[in-house]
Amino acid sequence: MLEIEYSKPKVDKLKLYASMGIPEFWRYNGSVLRVYTLSGGQYTGVETSPTFAQVAVKEIPQFILQAKKDGESAATRAFRNWVRQRKEVK
């Protein structure tokens, strides 16, 4: 699940998502993308997504910024190429 934060939520979404058993949760606040994994009923921040281990999560926001500047299509193509390159390295 990916959530983009624009304001402070009134509901504790981490508790809500944990109660639904969502194993991995990504939150983007406009500048930083964080990944959380569910363990023992609580989320813990992690550096690497277990689902997308080859992807450097900290580098993804550059493509969001690129989409604002160059358009969504160009940023999507750049992102796909970037992911493909990482898959080839591993």
Sheet (strand 42-46) strand order = 2-4, 24-28, 33-39, 42-46
Answer whether 0.85 is exceeded by the pTM. no
- φ, ψ dihedrals at 85, nearest 5°: -60, -40
Give 18-75 pLDDT, tens digit per residue: 999 999 989 888 888 889 999 999 999 999 999 888 888 888 899 988 998 999 999 9
What are the domain boundaries of the chain?
A: 1-52, 54-90
- Residue of 14, 26, 17 lying closest to 58 (CA atoms): 26
Q: What is the dihedral of CA 71, 76, 81, 86, to 10 degrees?
A: 120
More confident residue, 8 or 65: 65
Counted residue by residue, the chain has a size of: 90
- DSSP code of residue 41: T
Residue 6 has pLDDT above 90, yes or no: no
Give residues with Cβ within 8 angstroms of 61, minimum separation 6: 28, 31, 32, 33
